[in-house]
Amino acid sequence: MRSFIWLLSTILVSGLFFGFNLKEEDPNKDKLLIEIISYVLERGHFDPKEINDAFSENVYEDYLENLDGQHRFFLQSDINAFESFKLEIDDEIKKTDLSFFDLTYSKIVERMGQVELFYKEILDTPFDFSKHEEINLDFEHAPYATNLNELKKIWRQRFKLNALESYTIKKEDEQKQAEKDSSFVRSSDKEIELSVREDIKENMGYFFENYNELKRKDWFSIYINSIVIQFDPHTFYLAPSDKDRFDTSMSGKFEGIGARLSKRNQQVKIVEVISGGPVWRDELLEIGDAILKVAQEGEEPVDITGMVLDDAVKLIKGPKGTKVYLTIKRVDGTVEVVAVTRDVVELEETYARSSLIKDEMGTFGLIELPKFYINFEDYNQRNAATDVKKELEQLKSKNVKGIIIDLRNNGGGSLKTVVDMTGYFIEEGPVVQVKSTGGRKEVLKDTDPSVIWDGPLVILVNEFSASASEIIAAALQDYNRAVILGSKQTFGKGTVQNVFDLNKMITGSTYGDLGALKVTTDKFYRINGLSTQLEGVKSDIVFPDRYALIDMGEKDQDNPLSWDRITPANFKPYPKFTNYEYSIERSKQRLSENPYVALIEEQAAWIKKQQDDSPIYFLDYDSYKAKKESDKEYTDRFKKLLEYESEFDFEWLPEAASDSDLNNDLIEKRNRWAKSLKKDIYISEAVEILKDLSNQIGTVQPIAQVKE
């Protein structure tokens, strides 16, 4: 990797490579981008791909999926015309030929224009919700329309499903209002049907207004990313506007709802709930929830299905204090409208925090770490490692008998903080191995012989514990210093990326901003030589959650790098805890007998079933309503999970690393956090394990009972 960076520096200084002087409007800019990106990927990617016919076919499939994954615009004749390029894209990349892109770009613009002309005609005709029809939303296998009349039928069916969903919700809402207020006058079915059609018509107008604002460069970014994503799921081209947003996100402060979004299978989904944000504060959304519609205060909702993610994000974000109304489809299939008051989301709430956990058997400690944060300009500023050290010392001063480190939903961060933090639990020794572009291997070590905490330790993980979280969990597992409790395995991201500013690849250019390329340059390995890529870290004790059976990890992404192994580092494991085997067996016994765990497993199976079931929906009101009520009746049983409450007392501690006075808002957040910990069955089991590890044999909590 270092040799590659040196090469780029040499190129920059010499000015002999890509020394163009081009104007912003020059059509050759796209060709220049392909040439520069190809060069960076070939020399900088950890595992560069051969650009051949197989590569070409994969680009072809992914690109069409990104352009029209729902088969709403292209006709079969268009696809027939595209087919001749399926095995030619590799050659076009090498020759910087844009024929395939130019053809698809002109055709998508043409077809979208045709749909824009006829959608109002469809929506001018009332929908008959008494007529039994079905729609199959298996987009992957759905045929393309053979002509515009067939395309109109496809749009009519999808409009009808959209209208039926809104129609059903409005009828239910009016019924509830009538039950509360006898003077409330309910709308007729015809009036409701008309109103939902008008809503869709307005939303479609907004849909095309946004799409018509897209420029050629926006479509070209889609094409470029269909190419670079073939290398691995974390290599990505950042257009200038995307690079700006990326830089802003790194600052850790923004105004919005406090959730990170991703688009997959044509849906905008919650992939992270940011600690401290309004969504987290009010417990409104969860990972996996899909946002169907967005409404500003006093305005009608806008359907964001099929909308470009950036445009959807623009609708959702907004100034502090304003409200946004989100129509949410939960992971269990239920649909509801959630009101979120936007706020400033601060990094403060992503810092490490700790709590005491007490019962009659003694006191234990918990440290929750949402991410491995760092100030790259000044390591002496607050960072995850120094903060966790202070929290550990604070817990030690309280004479805790064991400590839990909660890394659930921790997607990673700074490598240096991981190495330093691991050192708090071991004497000096290797922590992680890093293999870089070109095959160079480096062993990163803890060189400080001091140990902050040598007592019982449980690391809590789930499917969303990734990258840096997996490094520390793996190291402490290899050293026998901790029991790993959680999902069957962690996310499985064993790679690291670097962002290369493409503007530094050329000299003397008047071309404008070229953006940046995020490239996978390194791979992590455990000190035992095994990669965390795909495999993640296997929990010593598997405690399932609602996502246990669905595809969520690195192995479920497109084009992930493979798993492999290298030579182990020279390390010596510690003797296992005296009660290690006993603790493992007792925990497994508790989980097998716990009715809440059985209910969680049933919920996971239900969610899996919803994903696997045939995507056929009824388009008549009676059938649609019956299915919806049947699903609700079944999912209501899972509300019993909300009744769980442990017998432990939780006492949060002020942040040891913070010099700021506690304000009312922070106190309220901490109180709410402590309340959530009391209802966290995973934390409770971790405490029971600590009890067993600390020789509290025979004093385990009674098996929890589900309240009927």
DSSP 459-513: EEE-TT--THHHHHHHHHHHTT--EEEESSB-----EEEEEEEGGGG-SS--S--
State how far the Cα of 529 lies from the Cα of 493, in Å rounded to an integer. 16
State how far the Cα of 263 lies from the Cα of 534, in Å rounded to an integer. 21
Mean pLDDT for each consecutive 10-residue tract of the chain (708 residues)?
34 30 56 93 94 97 95 97 97 96 97 96 96 90 95 96 93 89 90 94 85 86 96 91 51 68 77 80 88 91 81 87 93 89 72 93 95 76 90 96 96 90 96 90 95 97 95 98 97 91 76 86 96 96 92 90 95 93 96 96 92 85 91 90 94 79 74 93 97 65 38
Contact by Cβ (8 Å): 612, 551: no
* Burial of residue 164 (number of CB atoms within 10 Å: 0-12, 13-18, 19+): buried
Chain center to CA of 133: 35
Closest C-alpha among 111, 414, 141, 406 to residue 252: 414
State how far the Cα of 506 lies from the Cα of 8, in Å rounded to an integer. 10
What is the pLDDT, as a whole number, of residue 237? Answer: 93
Contact by Cβ (8 Å): 273, 286: yes
Decide: helix, strand or coil at residue 9.
helix
Residues ≥6 apart with Cβ < 8 Å to 479: 425, 426, 429, 571, 573, 574
Dihedral of CA atoms 518, 520, 521, 522 in degrees, nearest 10, equals 140
What is the pLDDT, as a whole number, of residue 512? Answer: 75
Helix axes 99-123, 216-228, angle to 10 degrees: 120
Angle (nearest 5°) at CA 644 between 636 and 584: 120
What is the pLDDT, as a whole number, of residue 665? Answer: 65
Return the DSSP state at 313.
Answer: H
Phi, psi of 138, deg, nearest 5: -80, 80
Structure tokens at 157: 């069916």
State how far the Cα of 250 lies from the Cα of 671, in Å rounded to an integer. 28
Dihedral of CA atoms 22, 23, 24, 29 in degrees, nearest 10, equals -30
| CB burial string 217-246: b at 16+ within 10 A, e below | eebbbbbbbbbbbbbbbbbbbbbbebbeee
What is the pLDDT, as a whole number, of residue 250? Answer: 36
Angle (nearest 5°) at CA 559 between 553 and 564: 75
What is the pLDDT, as a whole number, of residue 348? Answer: 60
State how far the Cα of 119 lies from the Cα of 105, in Å rounded to an integer. 21
Contact by Cβ (8 Å): 703, 664: no
pTM confidence score: 0.77
Contact by Cβ (8 Å): 600, 641: yes
Contact by Cβ (8 Å): 571, 478: yes
State how far the Cα of 56 lies from the Cα of 637, in Å rounded to an integer. 49
State how far the Cα of 232 lies from the Cα of 137, in Å rounded to an integer. 28
State how far the Cα of 386 lies from the Cα of 375, in Å rounded to an integer. 12
Q: Could you give the domains of the chain?
A: 49-230 (no CATH), 254-345 (2.30.42.10)
What is the pLDDT, as a whole number, of residue 698? Answer: 39
Contact by Cβ (8 Å): 361, 403: no
What is the pLDDT, as a whole number, of residue 659? Answer: 64
State how far the Cα of 55 lies from the Cα of 703, in Å rounded to an integer. 54
State how far the Cα of 331 lies from the Cα of 552, in Å rounded to an integer. 13
Structure tokens at 574: 């510690």
State how far the Cα of 19 lies from the Cα of 211, in Å rounded to an integer. 35
Expressed in percent and rounded to 5, the helix, strand and coil fractions of the chain are: 45, 20, 40
Structure tokens at 607: 């969610």
Contact by Cβ (8 Å): 224, 231: no
Strands 457-461 and 441-446: unpaired
